[in-house]
Amino acid sequence: MQRSLLGNSDLSVSPICLGCWQFNGGKADETWPAQPIEVSQSIVNKAIELGVNFFDTAEAYGMHRSEEVLGQCLGNRRSDVIIASKFGARIKTPYKATDIEESLRLSLEALRTDYVDLYQVHWPVMINDAKETVAELKRLQAKGQIKHYGVCNFGVENMKEFINAEGAGITNQLPYNLLWHPVEFEILPECVKNNMSVLAYSPLQQGLLTGKFYKPEDVPEGRRRTRHFNKDSTSMSRHGQEGAEDQTFKAIQSIREACGKEGVPMATASLSWLLKQQNVASVIVGCSKPEQLEQNCKIAQLSQELKKQLAEATDDLKSTFGNNPDMWAPSSRIY
């Protein structure tokens, strides 16, 4: 599998990054079903066999549980791979420098390692102050406990605050896929300007872009929390909006037909399309079984005709959702 460098760093990553939110050690969360550790183990083994060298996890995924599972599954292969993790698991009391240090300590312990290759701010609302955060990240970098740092879910103003604190970071991890375009309006151009690589998360819109769901009710309840779905679709919804269910499923049907005509699986078309977008260095995809990862690693060259049809299928959704990139909430958490 090919590699590309993140930002101006020496981190050389595969275009497919394995998302480890699903690694819950057999305990379901509000979004993902229980995944026994043996299944996570077989997914990690498959990833390494296929040439995937990039893994994304976070403190917030089960309060270090996902990191623990990843550390255990990697075993003595830690130095062969690049681990991205994140701090930030609460909003009400944002992280001060000492909280970041403690969070990293617990992450290193869980991951069974003494360094994280890419340490990310999970959400801008989770930090106390940009200058304090940048200074602490640089201090942890100087200590060798993190090799590089990046951000997630940062809008243009959030990025500017980090740039003004003289520490933009090498990556911005963002929600981006054929059914979710808001980052295209302002955020991607800002990433290009500042040489920040984009890591695209939920690249299959949590399974919708595999084509296996035909109507909203087919989608597991925890995944109906996003702004694609009506606020009443699940009691866990936080956005309070009407959603765009008809448009979403119409777009999925058009993508299904366009891909069907060319014999390209929808997941392949979706991930391949994403990897050609501005500054996207890697797509972070989660899996519930190794066979899915095998399928998701099949990147293809898409025909001009298919690209045109994918754009036509999703243009309406792009204008409906506008430029708020937050998949779960109104425009209050990212600016």
Question: Which residues are near ligand NAP by CB under 6 A?
Answer: 19-22, 56, 122, 152-153, 173, 201-207, 210, 212, 267, 284-288, 292, 295-296
- Pick the closer one to ligand NAP by CB: 143 or 331: 331
| Nearer of residues 289 and 308 to ligand NAP, judged by Cβ | 289
User: How far is residue 76 from each of residues 73, 111, 309, measured CA to CA in Å?
Assistant: 9, 12, 45
Report in angstroms how near the CB of residue 86 gets to ligand NAP at its nearest.
6
**Alpha-carbon distance values, 27 to 65, 86, 183, 294 (Å):** 10, 20, 32, 24
Q: Please state the φ and ψ torsions of residue 82, each to the nearest 5 degrees.
A: -110, 120
CB closer to ligand NAP out of 145 and 202:
202
Burial class (CB in 10 A: 0-12, 13-18, 19+), 131: middle
Min dist CB 211 to ligand NAP, Å, is 8
CB burial of residue 162 (10 Å; 0-12, 13-18, 19+)? buried
Nearer to ligand NAP, 45 or 139 (CB): 45
Q: How far is the CB of 266 from ligand NAP (least distance, A)?
A: 9
Our CB check for ligand NAP shows the closer of 30 and 142 to be 30
Shortest separation between residue 278's beta carbon and ligand NAP, angstroms: 19
Q: Which amino acid is at 265?
A: P
Closest CB to ligand NAP among 139 and 288? Answer: 288
Question: CB 209 → ligand NAP: shortest distance, Å?
Answer: 7
Residue 122 CB, shortest distance to ligand NAP, in Å, is 6
> Hunting for tokens 């917030």 — which residue is that?
60
| Residue, CB closest to ligand NAP | 19
Q: How far is the CB of 142 from ligand NAP (least distance, A)?
A: 25
Nearer to ligand NAP, 115 or 123 (CB): 123
Q: Residue 144: exposed, middle, or buried by beta-carbon count in 10 A (0-12, 13-18, 19+)?
A: exposed
